[in-house]
Structure 1
């Protein structure tokens, strides 16, 4: 039997085992309760500037957790949910660790599939970075120190932001100084044959266009690629391939395979300014 085009798999059942997060996270409902509870606390505690519109669609908005000091580094966070679930409000709490380490945090959002396609989501993520650059001073940020991170589908978006030709947007080529995709995917071709395809409605052309692994630029921001030890083989393979491709192009890419946890564990660490992951990301960003 031949493999499905662009994949190492022979049928959907093989792909779904690798991409079905519930299969790898038996306690997903408890995680959902955790995010909702902690994000409500974070909104009350930090009082962000909410619901700033950055795009034509109503969902294309950001919430800004301002640093207490002017000219602070900026982190743009892009949420996950397989491009079809969740909003920025679900993950407000991830701003906490970076805010307490002196960053301004911009949590971005986008319309979801199937209302839009993944290219529209990528455009919204790029718009969030452009907005942070143009409005840095008003949010106590430094436009010369903008960094990007995101989880899962947001990790994919972090990589798509990293390969952007910013000259097309009237911005400096190095507007993003460093990127840290967490549990990301970098080749989305297998998703055409997965349980999520009815929502994503990918064509082969779009899947290739939106796979950052195949669009490595000549120049791009340093990468800190992060995932958890217990994540599926597909997640590990994709992260390793992206790091290798980035390095082969002569650019910096670090790889952190956290010796603990699953698809959600690293995200939980973002709430704690003294966690191993936040300290590592802080040091990485400040050395970019």
Structure 2
């Protein structure tokens, strides 16, 4: 038994040492639309770019696509510090913003960015079967829309079910309030239409982890939207839906959420490995 313990300690020490020796590189402002599209639209050319942070000289790593928040009217791409040095590639995405364009254009951009990842990450050493989609608030909404409504990624030639996991932070599950605002619908009037992730609950969707702040501290009814999403996903037969409520944290709950994101990615990767 002592020999086994010593061997295990040696193994984990080696693994930790390997992880620490990974070197990372960042490449910034990569355009994710094709050259013709960029040339045809100056705002796409300016705004539709992403940054990639990835382990150099590594193969088969997982990738987390991170969409920033900002109500579909503001915000900028970021590589969250809490996700660095974990063995993953992290991709921070910019997308077009309202009112310069209709808010729904951001969904098209999110799909184009994720398609870029599927088509390109292997060039950096990443594994296309290990692509996760996450983001905060408006970013969480975008991830849910392209992960549940398959038409957005289908237009890009990608099956949304190839996403390894959807992990939105405080994402809106009803129709986004900026889209409702464009239509003259108040923030306090819930709407579920073709721009609501809830409209697309389905049993065969990717693994789904919903994370929100405290229901009494969150924005509007954000926890309740996510709770309804979790319930309806389970009722339609989805087997991989979980909901976490972070007691004591409001809408800006990213810092306590990041370890949950990392744990969920590792859980799914371990599950995939065990099935091989």
Q: TM-score, normalised by structure 1?
A: 0.72
1:245 partnered with 2:223:
no
Could you tell me which of 36, 51, 71 is aligned with 1:63?
51
Deviations 1:142-185 (A, max 9, x none): 11111100100111111102113244432235221110010111
Pair 1:119–1:112, CA change in 2 (3 A): same
Whether 1:282 aligns to 2:265 is yes
5+ long unaligned stretches in structure 1: 1-44
1:202-281 matches, cutoff 5 A: 202=183, 208-229=193-214, 230-232=217-219, 234-251=221-238, 252-265=240-253, 267-269=254-256, 276-281=259-264
Kindly tell me: are residues 97 and 139 of structure 1, through their superposed partners in 2, closer, same or farther at Cα, counting changes over 3 Å? farther
Query: What residue in structure 2 maps to residue 180 of structure 1?
Result: 167
**How much does 1:264 deviate?**
1.4
Unmatched 5+ stretches in structure 2: 1-22, 39-43, 186-190
Q: Deviations over 1:180-209 (max 9, x none)?
A: 01011111266566xxx2xxx2377x9722
Which protein has the larger Cα radius of gyration, Structure 1 or Structure 2? 2
The CA deviation string for residues 14-69 of structure 1, in whole angstroms up to 9 with x for no partner, is xxxxxxxxxxxxxxxxxxxxxxxxxxxxxxx9651000111341211110001232
Contact 1:76/1:148, CA 8 A, preserved across alignment: yes
Find the aligned partners of 2:178 and 2:73 in 1 and give their Cα distance. Answer: 13
Are 2:39 and 1:51 equivalent residues in the alignment? no
Give the SS at the match of 2:101.
coil
- Aligned with 2:161: secondary structure? coil
CA contact (8 A) 1:188 1:208 kept: yes
For residue 41 of structure 2, what is the aligned residue in structure 1?
A: none
Residue equivalent to 1:86: 75
Mapped to 2, the partners of 1:82 and 1:133 lie a distance apart of 26
Query: Which runs of structure 2 are paired with 1:114-133 in the superposition (5 Å)?
Result: 114-133=99-118
For the residue of structure 1 that corresponds to 2:249, the secondary structure is coil
Q: Does 1:136 align with 2:125?
A: no
The 3-state SS of whatever aligns with 2:87 is: coil
Q: What is the deviation of 1:232?
A: 4.1
Q: Distance in 2 between matches of 1:118 and 1:207?
A: 16
Whole-Å separation in 1 of the counterparts to 2:194 and 2:246: 30
How many residues of Structure 1 are paired with residues of Structure 2 in the alignment? 228
**Structure 1's 78 and 67: CA in aligned 2 closer, same or farther, altered over 3 A?**
same
**CA offsets per residue over residues 104-152 of structure 1, 9 Å max, x none?**
1111111110111222100100111100010011222111111100100
Q: Name the Cα RMSD after superposition.
A: 2.5
Q: How far, CA to CA, are the matches of 2:128 and 2:235 in structure 1? A: 29
User: Does the Cα contact within 8 Å between 1:73 and 1:103 map onto a contact in 2?
Assistant: yes
Runs of 4+ in 1 over 6 A off after TM superposition: none
